[in-house]
Structure 1
Amino acid sequence: MVFCGAKEELVEQLSPKTAESAPEPATSNERTDSEQREASAIRQDVWSVPTLRLLSASRNVKLAFCSDITHLRAYLATYSARTIKQQAVGGIDSAAGTRILAIANLINLHRPTSAFSAQGLNRTLSGAVEAAHDTRSKLVFVECTEPITSVAEEWTPAQGDEPGNDPPPLISVWDEEVSILNVTTKSFGAGERGWVGRTVKLRTIAARWCSFSTVDER
């Protein structure tokens, strides 16, 4: 599994999920002391398991962190060579099951860079596909980013707006549009988007390499 970001970012994303696992009171909006202690115990039990350490020490699971695009592309470019070497010295046995190459938050890694475009994403995706093909791995992309607004600018209600003036609807990250080519200009401020020419949805870019599936929430 390749996580696009630092280890601290992964822990931060897991934290809200842990908090949500605490039981909710049945008849009151305020928790009793016993309920608070129980919720705290659940969180402590979850975090007492050294998950990252177990993944790091596991023989069949390897967890890697790539904090920038250059690091990710370099990791994918050398992935097949490392995997073949591991097999030669008695590492992962492909006959034991299907090898999986999972990449989390690839889109989010590209977002703050000039490579947040069809050109930049296709270059990274092609490297991932090549790495999976050379090692006969099943390639999986997972994006943990929250839904975004349908416009680039942040919505703020104007003074005197009527109550019916609702904010723009949220859309899937994969339905966001990006430019065809890399945008190299740095003249726009944070959150602003200048002219980028023709655009295409992220879903269309990814569909060139893979198919989409919905994971059932349990």
Structure 2
Amino acid sequence: MSQPRRTIWSCELVTDFLKQVLYHEDASSKAIVVCSTREYFLEQLAAAVRYGTTTPEGHELTTDAIGLLSRSKDVNLAFCETLEHLRAYISVLDVTSTKRQETTSDESSERPLLAVLNPLALHLPTTEFSAQGLSRTLAAAVEVTAREKVDLVLCECVDSMNSANCGGDEALWNTEVPLLNGTARIGTEENVSRGPSVPVKKVAQRWFEFNDDRNIYRQQQ
């Protein structure tokens, strides 16, 4: 079996992310970690319908997303509304506990998958939206997936409830962040920080490969 992959997806909407995980990823088990509350996730999902699809999968997701995920035998869904919660959760996560009952590790060549939705947005309002803070979170996730031998995917979707943000999901990855936690930030709209800074994408590239194809799900239809 090949080495575990660590990838950052480019999915514009939450529905695109879910469809990619549920319908286009072969894995022995799947853990989806949503970096928000359950209520906010559902609001984002409902808002995405305006820009959504007419496919059967899209209809099922938008009408009963939580029910669909909870009924799936090989999917574990969790919500982490704070950075501390996210780090604590992934540090003890056992992705293989959701493994399909009808297969065993000896019978399946598929790796488990851990997919984390909107981790950057969770850092954004904190003093840890910095190279130091992001590195701490990303390294923790990589350590767990390397130990458990699972594939790891990160995805940052746009805010579907803000039409001004529906042009793409690259803004946060291209944001310049200070090197250390707690560095004073100035020029909010321009994302300018006082002192040395680095693009978020460069921090992530230490561990992850970027999928630069715009909206991987729609290209597979």
User: Per the shorter chain, which TM-score range?
Assistant: 0.5 to 0.7
Distance in 2 (CA, whole Å) between partners of 1:127 and 1:92 is 29
Structure 2, unmatched stretches of 5+, are 1-31, 160-168
Shift of 1:145: 3.0
Distance in 1 (CA, whole Å) between partners of 2:133 and 2:103 is 32
Distance in 1 (CA, whole Å) between partners of 2:191 and 2:124 is 12
Flag the 1:208–1:174 CA change in 2: closer, same or farther, 3 A. same
Flag the 1:101–1:92 CA change in 2: closer, same or farther, 3 A. farther
Residue in structure 1 matched with residue 27 of structure 2 by the alignment? none
Residue in structure 1 matched with residue 37 of structure 2 by the alignment? 6
2:204 partner letter: A
Q: Is the 8 A contact 1:5 1:68 kept in 2?
A: yes
Q: Is the 8 A contact 1:18 1:46 kept in 2?
A: no
Shift of 1:18: 1.3
Q: What percent identity do the matched residue pairs reach?
A: 34
Distance in 2 (CA, whole Å) between partners of 1:45 and 1:75 is 28
Residue in structure 2 matched with residue 200 of structure 1 by the alignment? 198
Residue in structure 1 matched with residue 9 of structure 2 by the alignment? none
1:72 aligns with 2:86: yes
Residue in structure 1 matched with residue 171 of structure 2 by the alignment? 172
**Alignment root-mean-square deviation, CA:** 3.3
2:140 aligned residue (127, 134, 139) = 127
Q: Is the 8 A contact 2:173 2:201 kept in 1?
A: yes
1:33-44 matches, within 5 Å, as: none
Larger RCO: Structure 1 or Structure 2 (Cα < 8 Å, ≥ 6 residues apart)?
A: 2
Shift of 1:5: 0.5
Residue in structure 1 matched with residue 209 of structure 2 by the alignment? 211
1:61 aligned residue (72, 75, 92) = 75
Shift of 1:190: 7.6
Distance in 2 (CA, whole Å) between partners of 1:9 and 1:200 is 30
Flag the 1:141–1:45 CA change in 2: closer, same or farther, 3 A. closer
1:117 aligned residue (113, 117, 130) = 130
Distance in 1 (CA, whole Å) between partners of 2:176 and 2:85 is 25
1:148-178 CA distance string (max 9 Å, x none)? xxxxxxxxxxxxxxxxxxxxxx963211100
1:8-32 CA distance string (max 9 Å, x none)? 2212222232123488xxxxxxxxx
1:170-192 CA distance string (max 9 Å, x none)? 96321110000001669x79879
Q: Is the 8 A contact 2:176 2:191 kept in 1?
A: no
1:126 partner letter: A
Flag the 1:201–1:16 CA change in 2: closer, same or farther, 3 A. same
Shift of 1:193: 6.9
1:15 aligns with 2:46: yes
Distance in 1 (CA, whole Å) between partners of 2:98 and 2:50 is 40
Q: Is the 8 A contact 1:69 1:109 kept in 2?
A: yes
Flag the 1:91–1:76 CA change in 2: closer, same or farther, 3 A. farther
For residue 98 of structure 1, give the secondary structure of its aligned residue in structure 2.
coil
Residue in structure 1 matched with residue 26 of structure 2 by the alignment? none
Structure 1, unmatched stretches of 5+, are 24-42, 147-169
Q: Is the 8 A contact 1:59 1:92 kept in 2?
A: no
